[in-house]
Structure 1
């Protein structure tokens, strides 16, 4: 509590009068503060910036000062130059900016870049999308989804999931009359679902064929077995263009080098749709013919054989028997075409059909070399261009163990009509395929080993060269005038440069030699296993075996980088540092078993199964054999017909 003071109030000037009697109050208490003598720089600062707390609220809405252009020599040209004449910085005039971008582009060696040059995503040309959209608009859109679901989905599924869809066309009807009623509808569904997928796979194979053969490949004629709606025709028109540009936006069917196309197919519904698509597009002077069978008058003349491709895409698995497949392959060989391209699905049946056709075409080539009288052309023999690096038996087909498939995959950007037909919002689709490209003549051989050094390899060689260069001792100089150098007496020492094979060759010469070397490079038939210290590559080699290649870090930065950037389907140029390991598939005692240990967890089922012979089974097989005629029995022998 405060006590109330009893002292009377004093006047205001009492403090001044009473000051002499107070010992605690200073004499200068009531005097005003004197002004400080500030440096002139501080005076300018206080006048420019108001840091007063009392006036802070008044300065909140103050407008900001705008920048003013001070006239001078540096801005005189910019003021006179109009905006339309302004140009961005030229990268060609700035070498220091170009150095990093070029180095990143060429970090791979030229050989590895050549072996991994694939199409990332295939885009359907706008010209083809337009004609397919016109075809769909002319039909019944309400039935398109149901027809596509009936033809291209697994039985019992409604196509709700992506795994339910398949591009394999297999339609069966009770009668020809019922099949005729579905011709147009099945063709429209095929064009909206299967044609884009087949187009992407054929485009990928033809792109690789152009890369491997280069300027030596000139195509004017196409003979297509199993033409369907013309997937092979459209892929050939856009793959072989008069100009060398690979830009898909600039490709049109009227600019193709293809002059003649013969489509062979008995499926009238698909062929009718193919004719509509071609008639709706400007193809220039292209001669298009459709037939149900290949005849003698359709063979190519000897002068046009080197410019002709015999193509069969996704047709072999639709044929009912192995004899029909063999007959079709024989027709492709007898046509006289210099290059034969065969594609099918990457399923077990599709791969086996392609592998059997490969062996049969190689056998026909060997027969021509052994007996020259059998050769109908000047070029004798045959060899595989892709994907195999050898002409021996397929190691995956004759492994004797679990059936493995040599297949590849290509992604396509789905057009709008594919998404609407499948009722799907996914914008891409992956199509799996197995293929082989066989060409007449003997297999080329290469003796060079160029293109193995890229930007990373050059840096490594430069560091190694610098480390091996002897160091020079420093000398103590004296403070005196340095005389001028007499260039007539002393010669400047040229620093040593890195040396590797093919250093003096131009990029065009290097790529031409790489094309010959690529015939023996291993093909990656499975996805690489990329570890932190080494890369494992399971590949098909020139020895005709499936070999596991291991590329460690100790092999070198360039080889390790190229292996790390490799992918499924590439051809790899570097030889491994360590000894390769052959992959072995154990022989199976039973053909119907999957592999070693297939009975684990199923022993009760195997125990109850009667594997021994019985009289009832023997009698039943005899009756079934008697019912078959000799011709039907020959057709039912399966793969044995390829050995005849």
Structure 2
């Protein structure tokens, strides 16, 4: 399992590029880019080296933390998974590739795809020793995917929402076609992000995919609106990160939705904790998605061993019901 915080080598590479970089200018550019993303503009708002660095400073830590949490969930379900090749779709500054490199020492071949030349330049500057030999292809996602080699692990983080609905299905089909073993798709933890994840989950299960995480089954999602499946990962903020975000606390809680799909069925299904459990003196209460659907687990204190175990459950954990 890997930490949600950026690796030391990546932090050092970012810090080196921040020398003489105006925090006020970075904060202004990061805010403008965020507004463009919220309005559906995507990474086209990132046009200069200053834009790319401001974006990386503001968003790279949280994106890394979310992808790390998703890969940790996959490892928890498939501890034997040891991919040798990675295909990072919509790679941006290389955040997901960094997370995968930390999660899987077995990785030898890294291929990154993106249409933004400025983010590609930054990614190559930040590559470090682990990603030094990575291939970073520049161009439209569908064309690059069509030409790409298949990989054991394919990751698409925070990019599906940047393309229109008509394009998503075709892109998802190509991503699955290029997946040898596992595909991980990560989106913002909003109702809209969750809806995109569920649509792609449905499409790819029809194509033969099996859900490894977060769902403990291959059935239809049992949640009903206004509820939606999302998770939260806490990460620490550097001083520069706090300045760019205009934040006063040294941590951030990134909310995300995701699905990890595999070519082979999962042998053992564990329940998933869907919200932070309530730990009381008399019992632990937790909302679970189980192989049989939704359930509210109540673990009484008198069941000492089960209660002690349930007290350590956290939102997003895969657990055996007490």
Do the structures match in fold with TM over 0.5? yes
Q: Which residue of 2 aligns with 1:619?
A: none
Going from structure 1 to structure 2, the CA distance change for 1:144 and 1:553 (only over 3 Å counts) comes to closer
- 2:243 pairs with one of 420, 436, 450: 420
How much has 1:411 moved relative to structure 2?
A: 1.1
> What secondary structure, in the 3-state scheme, does the structure 1 residue paired with 2:4 have?
strand
> What secondary structure, in the 3-state scheme, does the structure 2 residue paired with 1:338 have?
strand
Q: Which residue of 2 aligns with 1:217?
A: 81
Q: Which residue of 1 aligns with 2:98?
A: 234
Within 2, Cα distance between the matches of 1:522 and 1:315? 28
Q: Which residue of 1 aligns with 2:216?
A: 389
Matched, 1:269 2:118: yes
Within 2, Cα distance between the matches of 1:335 and 1:276? 27
Within 2, Cα distance between the matches of 1:297 and 1:417? 39
How much has 1:565 moved relative to structure 2?
A: 2.9
Paired residues, number = 319
**What do the CA deviations read for 1:536-593 (whole angstroms, capped 9, x no partner)?**
22111102x2222222345x21112222332222233135xxxxxxxxxxxxxxxxxx
Within 2, Cα distance between the matches of 1:234 and 1:295? 20
- 2:253 pairs with one of 403, 425, 430: 430
Within 2, Cα distance between the matches of 1:349 and 1:284? 32
- Identify which range, 260-269 or 529-538, moves more after superposition: 529-538
Within 2, Cα distance between the matches of 1:406 and 1:284? 33
- 2:61 pairs with one of 196, 205, 222: 196
Q: Which residue of 2 aligns with 1:364?
A: 207
Structure whose CA Rg is larger:
1
- 1:299 pairs with one of 124, 149, 170: 149
How much has 1:145 moved relative to structure 2?
A: 1.8
- Identify which range, 123-132 or 419-428, moves more after superposition: 419-428
Going from structure 1 to structure 2, the CA distance change for 1:438 and 1:264 (only over 3 Å counts) comes to same
Contact 2:297 2:321 in 1 (8 A): no
Within 2, Cα distance between the matches of 1:286 and 1:272? 14
Within 2, Cα distance between the matches of 1:235 and 1:404? 29
Contact 1:299 1:336 in 2 (8 A): no
How much has 1:195 moved relative to structure 2?
A: 0.8
Within 1, Cα distance between the matches of 2:266 and 2:32? 45
Matched, 1:133 2:15: yes
**What do the CA deviations read for 1:586-624 (whole angstroms, capped 9, x no partner)?**
xxxxxxxxxxxxxxxxxxxxxxxxxxxxxxxxxxxxxxx
1:278-317 equivalences in 2 (<5 Å): 278=127, 281-283=128-130, 286-292=133-139, 293=141, 294-300=144-150, 308-317=152-161
Matched, 1:441 2:264: yes
Q: Which residue of 2 aligns with 1:207?
A: 72
Matched, 1:528 2:277: yes
Within 1, Cα distance between the matches of 2:165 and 2:50? 30
Q: Which residue of 2 aligns with 1:541?
A: 290
Within 2, Cα distance between the matches of 1:141 and 1:528? 38
> What secondary structure, in the 3-state scheme, does the structure 2 residue paired with 1:337 have?
strand
Matched, 1:185 2:34: no
Going from structure 1 to structure 2, the CA distance change for 1:144 and 1:562 (only over 3 Å counts) comes to same
Within 2, Cα distance between the matches of 1:276 and 1:572? 40
Contact 1:258 1:286 in 2 (8 A): no
How much has 1:207 moved relative to structure 2?
A: 2.1
Contact 1:259 1:285 in 2 (8 A): no
Within 2, Cα distance between the matches of 1:282 and 1:336? 26
Going from structure 1 to structure 2, the CA distance change for 1:168 and 1:196 (only over 3 Å counts) comes to farther
Within 2, Cα distance between the matches of 1:562 and 1:442? 28
**What do the CA deviations read for 1:303-324 (whole angstroms, capped 9, x no partner)?**
xx5xx101010111222x2222
Q: Which residue of 1 aligns with 2:304?
A: 557
Which of the pair is proportionally richer in strand?
2
Structure 2-normalised TM-score?
0.89
- 2:179 pairs with one of 336, 347, 363: 336
> What secondary structure, in the 3-state scheme, does the structure 2 residue paired with 1:436 have?
strand
Within 2, Cα distance between the matches of 1:195 and 1:406? 23
Within 1, Cα distance between the matches of 2:178 and 2:117? 23
Structure 1 residue ranges, 4+ long, deviating more than 6 angstroms after superposition: none
**What do the CA deviations read for 1:477-521 (whole angstroms, capped 9, x no partner)?**
xxxxxxxxxxxxxxxxxxxxxxxxxxxxxxxxxxxxxxx4xx2x2
Contact 2:23 2:240 in 1 (8 A): no
> What secondary structure, in the 3-state scheme, does the structure 2 residue paired with 1:137 have?
coil
**Gaps (5+ residues) in structure 2?**
none
Matched, 1:570 2:322: no
Going from structure 1 to structure 2, the CA distance change for 1:426 and 1:531 (only over 3 Å counts) comes to closer
> What secondary structure, in the 3-state scheme, does the structure 2 residue paired with 1:405 have?
coil
How much has 1:425 moved relative to structure 2?
A: 4.1
- 1:148 pairs with one of 22, 30, 47: 30
